[in-house]
Structure formats: C-alpha cells, structure tokens
Amino acid sequence: MNIHNNEPVFPPALLSRYSEITGWSSAITPLQAPDLDRFYGLRPIAGCWRPLTWRDRPVPFPSVDPSQFQRSASVTHKLLAEAGKLVGHVAANPAFARQLMTSAQSGNHGEVDRLIKSTGVKAAIHTGYTPDGIHFDIPSSEEGNCCKLELTLRWGKAYP
C-alpha cells in the first residue's frame, strides 16, 4: 500500500498478470500478496517497484569453527609482544628514536633493518616510511599466513 494515500502500489499490468497466475482479485494489497517478488523478481520500496538484487537474497554463512580464529589470536598475541619490544625501545631511548628517524628519512633501508633487529625483535618486520612517519608490517611466520600486524608511528604532521 502506498503510505501516503492508502492506494495499492502494484502496477496495473502486474496486478492483472498476478491475478491470472494466482486467482486472486485485482484489488490485492502488498499485505495480502507477500510472495509477488518470488514470481516477478520485484520488491516494493517506498511506493514503487525495483528489481531484486543480490543484496535482497540472504547469503549463507559457513558453519562456525573457532579453531582457526583461536590459532590466529594466539599468533597475533606473539606478534603484539614483538611489536611491544620495538615500540618500547623507541619510547624509552631517544637516541635510538633519532637514529631510526634519520635512517628512515634518508632511505637507508639496511640501517633501519639493523636498528630494528638490535631491539631484540625476532619476527621479520617489513618497514615503509613517509615524510610523516614509519609503518611496520609484521606478518605471521606460521604456515597459512593466518594474520598480520600493521603498526604506524608518526613523527610529523600528517599532510591532508
């Protein structure tokens, strides 16, 4: 039904075709004919009709098995410990932080990697730098690549 004037929102041609198929009268309202979209692939939206899309159909999810999720959480916990070593060293040692920033801003990848390893981090850390900060990617070393930790530290203002 049209919300504004209580008139049926079914197009006349569609009503006559629907009444031929189902035997219902042509004075059908949407509340009386809820399965019209099943026959024609149409759905009423705010007083008009639109075709059904993939968003209108429910997507079946696989059954829940938390074992992989728990394994990922366990590995991520180890990655967080590794990241904590690195961040703790940067926070506690201003000389180290200055050296890391200088090496990263000059594009000296080897020195940045050496400085990161000197913190005691055992995980493989991929680094990227911009004029306003440094980005660390710490992938899992487990087979199956279950998770990855991404960490960004800023040392300057972000550009819009």
- The predicted-structure confidence for 65-123, as pLDDT tens digits, reads as follows 899 889 999 999 999 999 999 999 999 999 999 999 999 989 899 999 999 999 999 88
**Average pLDDT of span 43-72:** 71
Among residues 134, 127, 129, the alpha carbon closest in space to that of 153 is found at: 134
Q: Please state the domain extents for the chain.
A: 12-56, 67-154
pLDDT at 20: 62
- What count of Cα atoms within 13 Å lies in the side-chain half-sphere of residue 131? 4
29 — phi, psi (to 5°)?
Answer: -105, 160
Q: How confident is the model at residue 26 (pLDDT cuts 50, 70, 90)?
A: very low
* CB proximity list for 123: less than 8 A, separation 6 or greater: 78, 79, 82, 138, 141
Share of the chain above pLDDT 90, in %: 41
